Structure 1
Amino acid sequence: MKILIAGKNGQVGRCLVNLLEAQTELTFLALGREELDIADRIQVDKIVSEFQPNIIINAAAYTAVDKAEQESELANAINRDGPHNLAHAANNINAAIIHISTDYVFNGDSIESYTESDTTAPQGEYGRSKLAGEQAVAQACPKHIILRTAWVFGEHGNNFVKTMLRLAKTRESLGVVADQFGGPTYAGDIANAILTISKQIARDSHVYGIYHFSGFPHVNWHTFAEKIFEIALEQNVLVQPIQVNPITTLDYPTPAKRPANSRLNCDKIHNAFGIKQSDWQAALVRIKEYS
């Protein structure tokens, strides 16, 4: 099996590279934006045609949720046009594509965990660009897996865990939103899920479609922060406790509206691939690697 990865320098991309380096039964080519601009269709077609992958994994994305409100053209170039170019190129050589998407395709108003068939209704430019990317991938390549995830964190890149640890070193207290709920998802678990899916779709053509993969148990940001600090203190990443005060979304206004409910129902991916939800608490045990 030959795998092409776009977005090698992101949180999931770097985990994928580390994971695939240990796989002797496959060949992979991982490229960052400086080597592959997915918004450049000519460049995408050229690289895909030359490498001839069996599977393309798109881990590249524009993720600046607030900036997207002013940079919608750039967000769409990366989150809509780029995935379309990759999917189109994959279809040209009869390859499959695995595309990472987000909980932001939903409005967050549901009281239940979102299933793959629930109605999408993004609230901001970021979510709209990601939904457009999903639709572009599905239209351009029948052999697609769209993997929606949420609240991603890991050793690489910028994420909530790193932000909390950084702020805790200079403050005695923090206010953290307590009325937004979701499942923190470790980037390494996303990489493992993608590898499992890649191996199975090479054998089974009936599993294509949209899947949800995120962490469990579901929590709010405030509870997540408390757990981060608890483990950081246990492992001497922090030398003194920090007071974490619950606040509301209204107390912390942002240019882009956040979903109140980012909980994703992950039954479908478990039934199809045997993949369990990300154990984010286990991932936090390696908290020294995030600081």
Structure 2
Amino acid sequence: MSETPPTTPLLQATGLVKRYGSVTALGGADLDLYPGEILAVIGDNGAGKSSLIKCLSGAVVPDAGEIRIDGHPVRLDTPPAARAAGIETVHQSLAVAPSLDIAANIFLGREIRRPGVLGRVFRSLDHGRMREEARRHLDSLGVMTIQNPGQAVETLSGGQRQAVAVARAAAFGSRVVIMDEPTAALGVRESRAVLDLILRVRDRGLPVIVISHNMPHVFEIADRIHIQRLGRRVACVTPDQYSMTEVVAVMTGAMAIDDPPAVPGPPAAAAGG
């Protein structure tokens, strides 16, 4: 039996403003992410998607506005502050170290040291344990194309590298995972694998924000679609409310839905048990 969907967003941004000189990247942007959902953020070039996500990931500090987690105001003024709040981001560049192995990349910046004096004094790393933990994280997400956590990342395909970055985010993101254009440079088969990976992250209980230009992918996996235009949210819809053509028309300004924007509550299917 489905549980009653929560009414308080897990992550909420209200009235975010970010200016770069005379250019306004965000002009009062809002965002609501509920537990157990995939929220797609779409918008044309210059819509403010990147600035919005940078504010949520701690890479940029907004000039005005508020960010809340579980209804409590938070200050995400650095990426470590966002990570400490449980928000992990998979950037389009992936930020992997190609010459390091898979386990080292998953634990990059969070390395496990060997027990005792070797770890405390000599800062020696426990490579065996990191590889065991990396294997466990990959298995929990159903990543079967990577068999050896000791394999160098530079030997992996684009989809496999994306899987490593997602596994790292899912391993340490306790509240939210943000993914920026996760299938942008991938072929059909690898895109399919990454979409399945995103669904598995959501099914493990982590809500996901996905920034994407790929409308078929958005309509396939998103529970709700946040439409960004000219630095603000103009609507938030569900895929069963509007067609792909209508959503693109709203995104480009050719069609208006309503004013103020429609913001449906959390989807019962995603929030339910």
| TM-score normalised to structure 1 length | 0.28
Q: Counting strand residues as a fraction of each chain, which structure ranks higher?
A: 2
| TM-score normalised to structure 2 length | 0.29
Tell me: higher relative CO, structure 1 or 2? Use CA pairs within 8 A at least 6 residues apart. Answer: 2
